[in-house]
Amino acid sequence: MHYVRALREIPHAAFISEATRRDYIHRIVRDVGRAGPAIPLGGDGIAMPKQTFAIQKRMFTYVGTIESRKNVAAILAAFEMLWQRNIDVRLTVIGRIGCLSTAELPILERLATEPRFSYLGHASDDTIRRTLKETRATLFVSLLEGFGLPPWESLAAGIPVIASANLPSLDLLPDGGRIILDETSPETVAGAVLQLLDDQFAERLWGEAARLRIPTWDGFVQGLASWLHDTD
């Protein structure tokens, strides 16, 4: 409540998504006149040009912290299921392990000797770029997000995404370039991966992702500066 009370005292507030703006209006101040604009974050932070589809890309990638709300355990379990069925697919996970990641740790230990799995931990931007160049699609099936930057950056690079529903970042975009999961269980994640292993389907999603126009960090700065200039 201390945080909520502090927000109520702020005379001017801007937001990184329409979802957070709506929550601020309806759940905190209950006054649309108190809310400034939604200025989306940039998707070009990894400085990667648009990628192109190639049928030899059989790897899927997760980028982000490993913690319970990110639902990485569902991704790991999904690929375990696929490998048990001898599906030819690879998974790379990039990100720090959170101190409360109790569900993920046993699976990561089991997969330590799996040749089709790579856990890179905290990685440099260069490593992330090299990995994404080999990636057929990224995965981001988080249960709770304030924005959702990794799928935003993936689409900015023209790479399709398997994502959970109601990510504030993806709500800002027209349809295309992604599979949205209303339920994020290992079974639904595995099903989406199988869809994207179909080359024709994957190529269509890659074409859709290439046509999306993701805001940039330069645009974010310009939007923020314009709002600050116009605010009394």
Would you list the domain boundaries of the chain? 2-42, 59-211
Which band of pLDDT confidence, cut at 50, 70 and 90, is reported for residue 27? Answer: confident
Average pLDDT over residues 33-62: 94
Architecture of domain 59-211: 3-Layer(aba) Sandwich (3.40)
Cα(35)–Cα(79) distance, rounded to whole angstroms?
43
Q: Is 161 helix (H, G, I), strand (E, B) or coil?
A: strand
> What are the pLDDT digits (tens) for 128-170?
999 999 999 999 999 989 899 999 999 999 999 999 998 999 9
Average pLDDT over residues 69-77: 95
Structure-model confidence comparison of residues 53 and 229, the more confident one: 53
Cα(173)–Cα(20) distance, rounded to whole angstroms?
16
Minimal CA–CA distance to 75: which of 162, 169, 166? 162
pLDDT of residue 175: 94
Work out whether strand 117-121 and strand 178-181 pair parallel, antiparallel, or are unpaired. unpaired
Minimal CA–CA distance to 94: which of 154, 17, 44, 172? 154
Which band of pLDDT confidence, cut at 50, 70 and 90, is reported for residue 7? Answer: confident
Quick one: tokens of 99? 């101190």
Which band of pLDDT confidence, cut at 50, 70 and 90, is reported for residue 232? Answer: low
The reported pTM is 0.92
pLDDT at residue 74 is higher than 90: yes
pLDDT at residue 126 is higher than 90: yes
Structure-model confidence comparison of residues 189 and 1, the more confident one: 189
pLDDT of residue 206: 98
* Three-state secondary structure string covering 80-145: HHHHHCCCCCEEEEECCECCCCCCHHHHHHHHHHCCCEEEEECCCHHHHHHHHHCEEEEEECCCCC
State the DSSP H helix or E strand holding residue 205, giving kind and residue range, or none if neither: helix 199-211
Cα(50)–Cα(36) distance, rounded to whole angstroms?
32
State the DSSP H helix or E strand holding residue 79, giving kind and residue range, or none if neither: helix 72-84
Report the b/e string of 105-115 with b at 16+ CB within 10 A: eebbeebeeee
